[in-house]
Amino acid sequence: MTAKTTASGVAYDIQGNQGDIERRDAAMQTFVRDFAKTAAIHMESCLRCGMCANACHFYVGTGDPKYTPINKLRPFEQAYHRHIGPFAPLYRLFGIGSNVGVEMLQEWESLLFDACSLCGRCTLACPMGIDIAELIKEARHGMYKAGLVPDRLELMDRTAKAWGSPATPADDFADIIREAGEENGVPMNIDLPKADYVVTTAPAELTEHTKALADIAKILNRIGASWTYSTEGFEASNIGYINGDLDLQEKMTRKMIDNAVNIGAHTLILPECGHAYGAARWEAARWYRGKIPLRIIHMTEFLGEIVASGKIKLKQIGETTSFHDPCQLARRGGVTEAPREVLRAMGFEIKELEDHGALGWCCGGGGGVVSNVRADPLRFKAFELKKKQVEDADAQHFVTACGQCRITLTLGAKKFKWDKKVESLLELVADNMID
């Protein structure tokens, strides 16, 4: 792996030993293969109106027009027009629009990976209904095939293939679970042969937020559920989904779901992780021909259900809070009411951010951006938008339901010496159950 800089000074990383032509061809072939009917319609629909620009936290945070979301699709668009669009023969015959070269791909690596968190706010703003975020995610497939991915994300990809998780080897998983239970005084279930619920994790829980591992166990034990963690299928965050490594995405998805089915579970609980929700809740269907063999729900949905059913009772805190909506959960998944219902059940008065729910600003670290240290300066620009809205809301608490959002926002707070603590919805519930 070698870090390089283009002639115009844009940093990019490169992997493998492919020559420039091989890289270009690998990307182009993947771009063309990914042009399903829906993607083609989207590429033909863009009006160049610019409405997506003001929906992007990276554009708004910097004012730089290169971060306009539709601009991030330029190589993808050129591949479409020259190779698959209705006028592709004319484009090639008359040389309309230059062919995509490896230099352009190198320039665009930073736009696709550093300057996009796949948050989908641009998609919501597009008057033509173009799913820009989804197209960028598809464009990452070609970049992965060309060996043009940020080194840190490629390292996480290789680690996941070797360990089963980018955070920890599968051999260490049971020990981490047991230690979390011992530290917090909570009985833990690990590798039970049969259970109704299988609980999965994300890197945040296995490293910085291990209390969350014990907190969900505490809640499941309280309601008398049959549940387990499983070494065979514990990793839900799915770095393949973020990187454009479809083979790894499928492998991790199937491993997690097939394991839960073998245990006899009727429900797979995803951790407080936004991209886990996108990868498993929505994209798992592509690997199972549209028929996912069990129920898959996010931690927030699970908490909402057990609170609404009265299975647990919560203390009345009686203070104010604002809530950061994780993009994949709220905007891409429609889960906006469940976290608010849980907060109200604890007696919180919710002081909404100016932009919230489906319109909420991204934390700035999704889509692998928080793990890609090269993108730190840009990510901090996006963080300032969120920081201002939290300060304007002036609530006593600031809560979210995504571990990666929590890490991103905490890193931003440290950078700007901001004393606002970012709290976990799951941990609040676990800490405030009434016996």
- 218-227, pLDDT tens digit by residue? 999 999 999 9
Residue ranges making up the domain that contains 318:
313-431
Q: Which CATH number does the domain housing residue 237 bear? A: 3.40.50
320 and 296 in one domain? Answer: no
298 and 335, same domain (yes or no):
no
Helices 170-184 and 211-222, packing angle to 10 deg: 70
The model carries a pTM of 0.93
Do 242 and 355 belong together in one domain? no
Give the number of C-alpha atoms closer than 13 A to the C-alpha of residue 65, restricted to the C-beta side.
2
Whole-number pLDDT of residue 98 = 62
Q: Is residue 372 part of a domain?
A: yes
Residue 371 in any domain: the answer is yes
- 409 is written with which tokens? 């926002």
Instruction: Tell whether 172 and 290 lie within a shared domain.
Output: yes
**pLDDT attached to residue 169:** 94
pLDDT at 197 over 70: yes
Verify that 49 and 117 share a domain, yes or no.
yes
Sheet holding 423-424, edge to edge: 349-350, 320-324, 397-400, 423-424
Q: Are residues 373 and 251 in the same domain?
A: no
* 373 and 414 assigned to the same domain: yes
- Do 145 and 173 have their domain in common? no
404 and 367 both lie in a single domain? yes
Q: How far apart are CA 65 and CA 58, in angstroms?
A: 10
Regarding whether 142 and 237 lie in a shared domain, the answer is no
Q: What is the DSSP letter of 168?
A: S
**Of 355 and 84, the one with more pLDDT:** 355
Q: Is residue 154 part of a domain?
A: no
Q: Are residues 214 and 347 in the same domain?
A: no
Q: Is the pLDDT of residue 82 over 60?
A: yes
- Residue 126's Cα: distance from chain center in Å? 21
In a domain, 131, yes or no: yes
* Assigned domain for 263 exists: yes
Give the mean model confidence (pLDDT) for residues 298-304: 98
How do residues 47-73 score in pLDDT, each as one tens digit? Answer: 888 899 999 999 999 999 999 998 888
How many domains does one find in the chain? 3
Which of 102, 124, 149 is the endpoint of a domain? 149
Task: Look at residue 149 in the predicted model and tell me its pLDDT.
Answer: 96
**46 CB-side CA count, 13 A:** 20
180 in the same domain as 137: no
pLDDT tier at 81, thresholds 50, 70, 90: confident
Instruction: Return the pLDDT at 116.
Output: 96
At residue 202 the predicted structure's pLDDT band, cuts being 50, 70 and 90, is: very high
What's the angle, vertex CA 67, arms to CA 101 and CA 103, rounded to 5?
15
